[in-house]
Amino acid sequence: MGNSSPVGVSIFGIDTRQLNQLRIGFGGVKGFHDPQPNTPTSQCFSALVLAHNSRIYAYKCPEEVLEAVRRAVEKSLIKKDKKCSKADGLHEFEFNKWIWAAHGQSTVDVRRYAMNIVESLREAGWGILDDIDMSRPFFVQVWVLHKIDQMSVRSPRRDILIGLHDKNDLRVVMSPQEEPNQQYTVQEAVRQGIVNSWQISSETDYSGAYQFQLAGSPFSAGENRTVPARQTLLGVLTELERKAGYRHYRSLMLSMNLGCKSSLLLRIPPPDAPKDRGTYVGMHLDGGGIIRIFPSPGEFLDPFLQQELGLVIGQSWSRGIKLEEGRDNAYGWELNGHPWETQYEDMVEVNILMGKILQKMWSLGFELMPKVAFTGRLAETSFMIFRKPSGAMRKAEEPVLCISFNNIDKVRICSPDDALVAELQPRIRMAFCPPEFPIEAVQDLGSYGRSAQFQLVKSPFHTWMPGPKTTMYATAVLLTVVNIMAELGWHLKTSLDLSSLCVFTDNSKYREELSSLYFTRK
């Protein structure tokens, strides 16, 4: 495992051998356009892209999606609503405020805009499959949209949003039309969820949101406070489900500001959905190589889960376990080799390790909720929250495939089952050439450790300047991956940030790696 070859001379944190790849930042990829800009993919996917300071780009979105955005946002806020003149295939919404760079009380308005867009999309028959960062240096958050059955996602009430802000502010955003009794029920559930693990220093109205200011700095807590801090959020989700019926179904990143954390959308399931009571378990990737699991506050960690995960981790990480211990109703494994800070071929092994962990958790009846950015640190790895429905039964482990976006231009395919990579790699590669993709996007392919690797033309994941052409290319890469996997019978289950490596230069700082996408068979 590993690759210790020199990186070479670095300019702005980028290998000089890669600099010629970055011309896309000024002019885009020659010949790249979408001849059917308002037509979803063959498997009914499209995308809304939150980008730069004040824009939403629509890619492969039918008119009903564009109308959903228009209905959700105040007309006076929209400065531009037209086909993008700089990128053939994008529709551009530009706002007259820098909404993705909002501060203070304006952040509540931004979260209401997002809630309104999500609700308007649902009314139009579209849902968000995932929210994925597709640019290393710039704000390019892609909402992968998919066609949904409106009856299957109907809810007796409007969604609510839990926002994490600064070092210690937790805000509850609800529809102004919500009944006072329901507002009280939600606030009481959140309050109880917090005090089960942490102390509240004050409560107040914050521009129409209800704000709980927590004692100390839980979102930047370190050492022995990392578990109680995250248990605060587990407690909130547990109490909201038990007392008010809400479940966490989507996490959104709604700010380009440093320190931005997740906004969690919660929804009451349809009336005919199973009325099960979930058990929550958190998984935190700490330090350079610690995997730590813990239950909701006041509950006990299942020793059987601890034993099963320990076996998987020990068998899947060839460098071995340095230390394992239980402390404060949590259990952790410290792995040799600093996996969250590793590079090169070791990163493939990290993706495979997480694939094995997810396989085991799903086989034990757990479902993985959307990832959470809890601290807002640039070097943060995903906080994972698992929910096990009451009565869930153990089942056979299902195949898992990981597709990751690496460096400035790499797409890697790996799996705990190497045969799956050999089987699917040729078909995925063909999806990146005409007529399925606007250009011949793969300039080199081969093996990289236990993965198949495509090197794409130019640099879709890192550009010199933000702009619609670069946004469109990166978004097209993502949608192509999700769509071809759906064609092949695979469903995107989650995207995770598994690397804490960052690049720091005189002019900027950004994450070294983008997300790892995990797929299972439909």
Cβ–Cβ under 8 Å, residues 197 and 241? no
Q: What is the pLDDT of residue 6?
A: 35
Which of 279, 281, 209, 271 has the alpha carbon at shortest distance from 245?
A: 271
Altogether, the residues listed in the chain come to a count of 522
Q: What is the pLDDT along the chain (522 residues), one digit of tens a residue?
A: 434 333 333 434 445 444 444 444 444 577 788 888 899 999 999 999 999 999 999 999 999 999 999 999 999 999 999 999 999 999 999 999 999 999 999 999 999 999 999 999 999 999 999 999 999 999 999 999 999 987 767 788 899 999 999 999 999 999 999 999 999 999 999 999 999 999 999 999 999 999 999 999 999 988 789 999 999 999 999 999 999 999 999 999 999 999 999 999 999 998 877 777 899 999 999 988 999 999 999 999 999 999 999 999 999 999 999 999 998 889 999 999 999 999 889 999 999 999 999 999 999 999 999 999 999 999 899 999 999 998 899 999 999 999 999 999 999 999 999 999 999 999 999 999 999 999 999 999 999 999 999 999 999 999 877 789 889 999 999 999 999 999 999 999 999 999 999 988 888 888 889 999 999 998
Residue 17, judged by CB atoms within 10 A of its CB (0-12, 13-18, 19+), counts as exposed
pLDDT tens per residue across span 389-425: 988 999 999 999 999 999 999 999 999 999 999 999 9
Beta strand spans in 54-193 (E): 55-59, 78-83, 90-95, 126-133, 140-147, 160-165, 169-173
Look at residues 160, 192, 167, 178 and name the one whose alpha carbon lies nearest to residue 263: 160
Distance of CA 113 to the CA centre of its chain: 19
- Tell which phi-psi region holds residue 123, choosing left (phi > 0), alpha (psi between -120 and 50) or beta: alpha
Domain ranges of the chain: 21-25+398-521, 36-150
Token digits of residue 460: 């879709």
Q: Are 47 and 59 in contact (CB under 8 A)?
A: yes
Question: What is the rounded CA–CA span in Å between residue 57 and residue 47?
Answer: 8
Exposure letters 232-260 (e unless 16+ CB within 10 A, then b): bbbbbbbbbbeebbbbbbbbbbbbbeeeb
165 SS3 class: strand
Q: Residues 240, 296: contact at Cβ < 8 Å? A: no
Q: How far, in whole angstroms, is CA 398 from its chain's centroid?
A: 22
For 153, phi then psi, to 5°, come to -115, 10
Residues 124-138: tens digit of each pLDDT: 999 999 999 999 999
Q: What would the DSSP string read from start to end of 301-334?
A: --HHHHHHHHHHHHHH-TT-EEEEEEETTEEEEE
Backbone angles phi, psi at 242, to 5 degrees: -75, -40
The angle formed by the CA atoms of residues 279, 285 and 288, to the nearest 5 degrees, is 165
Question: How high is the pLDDT of residue 28?
Answer: 56
From the options 3.40.50.300, 3.40.309.10, 3.40.50.2300, 3.30.1410.10, give the CATH code of 36-150.
3.30.1410.10
Q: Is the dihedral of CA 25, 28, 29, 33 positive or negative?
A: positive
- Evaluate whether 185 touches 208 at the Cβ level (below 8 Å): no
Note the helical H segments in 84-225: 106-123, 180-195
User: At residue 79, what is the residue type?
Assistant: K
What is residue 79's predicted lDDT score, i.e. its pLDDT? Answer: 97
Q: Cβ neighbours of residue 262 under 8 Å, at least 6 residues apart?
A: 164, 251, 252, 253, 371, 372, 373, 374
Tell me if 268 sits within 8 A of 154, measured CB to CB.
no
Q: Is the peptide bond before 269 cis (omega within 30 degrees of 0)?
A: no
pLDDT at 27: 44
